[in-house]
Structure 1
């Protein structure tokens, strides 16, 4: 039996046979170049690679490549190369799943479960088929453009959503995922999974996806009468009180106090979709902290509510609108189906969604003179900018306003025809009319409201403050700006005057 072959001394690095757990391996190693420690001070003195004996040529090639890289000054630590290879091996599916699972808002709070569901649906239906098994580093702008051009919606025009709107919504998910991959470091060295996002398509908002339909009072009453008895009260809760769909379905007996005429909004029903594709209707917190609120029950809702409560369980947590079959939490889609069947048979309400009832309530309150602060409280909005969007015209109210204007102008013209004096001579004040100088009885209340609104605006970010001001009538805007504290008035005026 011959002696084991003695390895020749190498010019660079070292090869030797080692034994681990009773098995032989080939260990290749070389000294870390001295200049590398200034850039990576925690490197080991030697770099190692261990292979099985049949892969000795791979170990030799590894040493050869390392020698060449050191000579050219292009060497990087193998540890970093391995980390780079791991980063480049991440697929779109792997990253997207953990992105949805761990996504948070700007304030650090986790995104809502409903938002996760929308992202998961976009991924499952539209993005995984195209990009799921691709490495993130392999997805190019050309690939994204090809996906955009070939986009075909699974459910066209569902709930009034256009094909273009659905494509934009799905693209928004893709763009957010790739932006995170390009921006968020995955290690202490600041490395990201991709160098730049391939989502470079500039999308336009296009047409408004849905035109809000405001129901007249008689239409709202007809809607209530036509809906199934077990669920029809939601038409009034949303249409008169401004509750959201989930807030209606989350109501329990303990939330209704008919002695004090108060409705407590404490929870909301929602449908959770899990990663395995299963769904469950559950109760959770409302949309935001400001959505937790106590609302006065209007007189027009009291009697229908009393009648409905006769059919609600006696337990404090008994649901007002349990699911017809299971008796558990009712799905939002079940409510929408019942609502849509009635709306589809009512031409005047064509295209109306259940959420439009909430707009109906808040728009009518605004038309009745509710302040933005009162609208915020009723709707459970967090900012005055959101509350100020309810500018939809209620046709009957608008007609009344125009009619009143016509009547006032006609009456004023008739008065002027009867009382117009002869032109006065210079210096003769006997025939000139002196305006009524009596103070306006409501002036103090108006001043207080103006000061309160100015105070709220002063605490808002500049961009949001200006957005709200621009939504106000010009005379109202001037008055509010005049009431702003001097510390913010200057910057506000400067921003308002920008084109």
Structure 2
């Protein structure tokens, strides 16, 4: 009596003694299993899984991932709405860190072990952890799209925390140090330092300010644009990095007069005049200003402080006033609460230190007035 005919797929025994499984996919193509099996049962089980996938509508074309990563990644970057600086960063990461290893590899052949080995080799070769984290994040994002495009089933980037950029804690200048630096830098940049330190504005936001953006009668600055410097030396005037970046920031009254004097003496005239310009009327470049900044730091006796660290001073001072998370987010120009919570945490830590110091004073006072059994002495006459 003939055996029962197979309803799905075919299994055949090879001369090697192993078994090959094949089936007809939803696309009408005959699809062999990517590997042979030791037993017929193993081959049957594999076919059963494929049949279940097809019934669920979860079938995946095993040839879909036969797309070289390099061209796919180039197209991925091209198709996205990115700022010029981000596009340039992604292009550099792809060229120098991803393409040499993954460029000619099919997307479907990029495995979790290959990704882990690539990352470990990069770190062992001395590539900076921040650069490796950014390259890994880009790789994960590209392959995440490959999952959405149904080129692969799962994203092989599975290294926990590998895309997190661990930046060392930066110093925070004191109020006295901000003024010392403002007095040491060239006079035309004195107010730039003060506004960075006490308003928490970014370099690009400060350089992008025009006279019409500053309302001294109401002590406010409207941030509407930012100047970005690209790697090729070109500059781009753009909106702030996020929608939250467009904001109005109140000016502390203590520096209103400094700003007023700066606008009269150094700013370009007229409502559209640039607030900060160089001695020859050009928009300041970061590399040129950095030379002046380092000189000012030496004169002020301050080491290891970057200009961007002044933003930390402004944000820390704002947090110490008891401002809410939402208020800090608005002032800092952040669309998420993460950064605001960091500054609030720092402020809370300082508050804890103050409370501990007060506790010590209270304990000291109690001991000074306690009797032999720990009770307060009767001071009544």
Q: Same fold (TM over 0.5)?
A: yes
8 Å CA contact 1:281, 1:331 repeated in 2: no
Residue 296 of structure 1 pairs with residue 250 of structure 2: yes
Residue 318 of structure 1 pairs with residue 273 of structure 2: yes
| Gap runs ≥5 in structure 1 | 1-70, 104-109, 157-161, 186-191, 423-430, 432-499
1:359 to 309, 312, 317: 312
Instruction: Spell out, residue by residue over 1:182-213, the C-alpha distance to the aligned partner (whole angstroms, 9 max, x if none).
Output: x212xxxxxx2234333344455899422121
8 Å CA contact 1:90, 1:135 repeated in 2: yes
Which residue pairs with 1:148 in the alignment?
119
**Offset of residue 225 of structure 1:** 2.0
SS in 2 for 1:304: helix
Which residue pairs with 2:322 in the alignment?
369
Going from structure 1 to structure 2, the CA distance change for 1:340 and 1:393 (only over 3 Å counts) comes to farther
Residue 117 of structure 1 pairs with residue 94 of structure 2: no
**Offset of residue 264 of structure 1:** 1.4
Question: C-alpha distance in 2, partners of 1:375/1:95?
Answer: 40
Question: C-alpha distance in 2, partners of 1:221/1:396?
Answer: 22
1:139 to 98, 110, 123: 110
**Offset of residue 412 of structure 1:** 5.6
**Offset of residue 318 of structure 1:** 2.1
**Offset of residue 387 of structure 1:** 1.8
Which residue pairs with 1:379 in the alignment?
332
Aligned length: 328
Q: Matches of residues 290-439 of structure 1 in structure 2 within 5 Å?
A: 290-309=244-263, 310-322=265-277, 327-328=282-283, 330-336=284-290, 338-343=292-297, 348-350=302-304, 352-390=305-343, 391-392=345-346, 406-411=360-365, 420=376
**Offset of residue 375 of structure 1:** 2.4
Q: Please tell me the root mean square deviation across aligned C-alpha atoms, in Å.
A: 4.3
Q: Matches of residues 20-169 of structure 1 in structure 2 within 5 Å?
A: 76-77=27-28, 87-88=64-65, 90-103=67-80, 110-151=81-122, 163-169=128-134
Question: C-alpha distance in 1, partners of 2:200/2:268?
Answer: 25
8 Å CA contact 2:369, 2:377 repeated in 1: no
Question: C-alpha distance in 1, partners of 2:290/2:348?
Answer: 23
Question: C-alpha distance in 1, partners of 2:193/2:348?
Answer: 17
Going from structure 1 to structure 2, the CA distance change for 1:313 and 1:90 (only over 3 Å counts) comes to same
8 Å CA contact 1:92, 1:135 repeated in 2: yes
8 Å CA contact 2:209, 2:223 repeated in 1: yes
8 Å CA contact 2:136, 2:163 repeated in 1: no
Residue 184 of structure 1 pairs with residue 148 of structure 2: yes
Going from structure 1 to structure 2, the CA distance change for 1:252 and 1:208 (only over 3 Å counts) comes to same
| Gap runs ≥5 in structure 2 | 1-21, 32-60
SS in 1 for 2:88: helix
Residue 254 of structure 1 pairs with residue 212 of structure 2: yes
8 Å CA contact 1:153, 1:167 repeated in 2: no
SS in 2 for 1:270: strand
SS in 1 for 2:130: helix
Question: C-alpha distance in 2, partners of 1:207/1:122?
Answer: 15
Residue 283 of structure 1 pairs with residue 237 of structure 2: yes
**Offset of residue 338 of structure 1:** 4.1
Residue 225 of structure 1 pairs with residue 183 of structure 2: yes
SS in 2 for 1:150: helix
Which residue pairs with 1:194 in the alignment?
152
SS in 2 for 1:231: helix
Going from structure 1 to structure 2, the CA distance change for 1:72 and 1:94 (only over 3 Å counts) comes to closer
Higher relative contact order (CA 8 A, sep 6+): 2
Question: C-alpha distance in 1, partners of 2:166/2:261?
Answer: 39
SS in 2 for 1:151: helix
Going from structure 1 to structure 2, the CA distance change for 1:100 and 1:225 (only over 3 Å counts) comes to same
Question: C-alpha distance in 1, partners of 2:185/2:124?
Answer: 31
8 Å CA contact 2:123, 2:129 repeated in 1: no
